[in-house]
Amino acid sequence: MRAAEWDSVRRVCERDPFAQKRLNSPWDVPWPWCFACGVWMDSAHIQSRQHQRKLEARELQRQMEAASSGGDFGHRGRATKV
């Protein structure tokens, strides 16, 4: 992979909510670590079923927290437009 492609993949991974920049990567460059899955990130990982399920669970938890704190849910538990 060329340097420009590595940089592009790294930037995509760093936008992920589970990305944590680590300085001790096997590639001798700072690289994103997925703290939710415990692996080095790449485009295949962020598209993997395991990672996508953790993202979905995170979003569900955020919605539940919003609902319990008087967030944007109606009286029947359905999301309402804001």
What pTM value is reported for the model?
0.72
Q: Is residue 82 part of a domain?
A: no
Sign of CA dihedral 8, 61, 22, 28: negative
Q: Is residue 52 part of a domain?
A: yes
Q: Is residue 74 part of a domain?
A: no
Q: Is residue 78 part of a domain?
A: no
Total domains present in the chain: 1
**Which residue's structure tokens are 């319990």?**
68
- Give residue 82's pLDDT: 41
Q: What does each C-alpha distance from 65 to 58, 59, 77 come to in angstroms?
A: 11, 10, 13
CA atoms within 13 Å, Cβ hemisphere of 38:
0
From the list 68, 63, 69, 39, the residue with the least C-alpha distance to 51 is 39
Mean confidence (pLDDT) of the chain: 86
Q: Is residue 13 part of a domain?
A: yes
- Give residue 26's pLDDT: 92
Domain interval for residue 38: 3-68
Supply φ then ψ for residue 7, to 5 degrees: -65, -40
Q: Is residue 77 part of a domain?
A: no
